[in-house]
Amino acid sequence: MARHYSWPSDRAVAEVRRIVSNMAGVTKEEVRIVASPYRICPLGAHIDHQGGTVSAMTLDMGILLGFVPSRSSEVLLISGDFEGQVRFSVDEIQQPIQTTTENGNSRKDSSEQQEQCKWGRYARGAVYALQSRGNKLSKGIFGLISDGDGLNSVGLSSSAAAGIAYLMAFEHANNLAISPTENIEYDRLIENEYLGLKNGIMDQSAILLSSHGCLLCMNCKTKDYRLIQRPKVQEYKKIGQPKGTKILVALSGLKGALTSNPGYNGRVAECQKAARVLLEASGDFTAEPILSNVKPEVYETHKCKLDSNLAKRAEHYFSENTRVAKGVEAWAKGNLKEFGDLVSASGRSSIQNYECGAEPLIQLYEILLRAPGVLGARFSGAGFRGCCIAFVEADLADEAASFVEREYPKAQPLLAREMELQGQTSIFICESGDCARVL
């Protein structure tokens, strides 16, 4: 059965406080909670790493990190979702996990090989990011991190949510005044430098800058952003649009960290190669080879010089930028039907041009498009694993969820059965959320 979501619940917060107070030997009132939400990208998929313009919002679901400052530099962490403990000191100098040898092969450094609990890499990464910019850390934390619903590695940017949660906890424990825009850069350092994932800044920007009910629009090259509100509910009758929407999150059952999937970084490299070909064809040999440095007229003139794969990657980039611009305008006008159509078109381009949709995700995407009341759908995240999201008329959300619950097991019986055996809810009915904060 689909789960209606309201996050964070008082019950979940109280349970995190109870566990942390017991492990740290403090009162429940001394425990601080970071609420770090998951994010979706309705339009602008796969173009943030090229400096494109993206849209995003958070969901009212995410990660809770309960913590208290330790009395020393010691860090002790447990997880509500994974086994083991993570122990280290903020005095230790953290080194990136991914290093490159002379022949180009990546290897893991010794500290990571010795780390039994790989989920702890995001805490270490947060310390690395803060250290690398000269911040002095004297206090560690005792803490519990949990999402409670098994939604890690499903395409909702749980990695960025975790990284941001740890950043905010270490900053709070050490009385560091860090702005949201600074934390966007710090989390980029965790992902790009410490973990070796060549993604852009969309995930962390959404988590740190979103506001309830708004669509975040960000130029990932200039880092300029704005929040776009929808018209008030009473205005919808005048324009013949659904007066309210919900967001469906439908799980495929595919999981896996992007850092272990070569497809993601491979697509980024192809976009950069396409940019280099186009720039050099126009006589520009100095600009950074990212597609945002290629003017649309240069693309139209020289796209014939791209091989088949590179042509598809460039077509996705330029068409997706156009969809973002149209989508932002549609959202601001309350034209949710047009907005939904653009979201679905983005999903098709991700499949056909960016070529990143695994078969179960493509099937789930197609099922969502047939579901009653769905205005638009696409898969979330990189498309190599995870979930699909859909905007649905609020009055039909339960009916749409039931339709997906009936149809997806017909397409993927093994994955659906595995989720059932694990007690994993397969579909959530959500609303837009707020930014990460310390409760």
Q: State the Cα–Cα distance between residues 32 and 35, nearest whole angstrom.
A: 10
Q: Which listed residue (48, 60, 203, 434) is catalytic?
A: 203
Q: How many alpha carbons lie under 13 Å from residue 76 in its C-beta half-sphere? A: 11
Q: State the Cα–Cα distance between residues 269 and 289, nearest whole angstrom.
A: 10
Which pairing describes strands 427-430 and 3-4: parallel, antiparallel, or unpaired?
Answer: parallel
Verify whether residue 284 is a known catalytic residue.
no
Q: State the Cα–Cα distance between residues 341 and 154, nearest whole angstrom.
A: 24
Q: Which of 171, 140, 131, 128 is nearest to 36 (CA)?
A: 171
Distances (CA, A) of 64 to 14, 154, 163: 11, 17, 12
Give the single-character DSSP code of 432: B
Both tokens of residue 199?
Answer: 């993604």
Which helix (H) or strand (E) covers residue 250, if one does? strand 245-254
- The answer to whether 216 and 55 have CB atoms below 8 angstroms apart is yes
Which residue's entry shows tokens 């695994």? 358
Give the single-character DSSP code of 335: -
Q: How many alpha carbons lie under 13 Å from residue 64 in its C-beta half-sphere? A: 27
Q: How many alpha carbons lie under 13 Å from residue 361 in its C-beta half-sphere? A: 26
H-assigned helices in 76-157? 110-114, 121-132
Which helix (H) or strand (E) covers residue 56, if one does? strand 53-69
Spatial neighbors of 232 by CB under 8 A, at least 6 apart, are none
Q: State the Cα–Cα distance between residues 405 and 403, nearest whole angstrom.
A: 5
CA angle, 202 as apex, 206 and 190 as ends, to 5°?
Answer: 100
Catalytic sites, residue numbers: 203
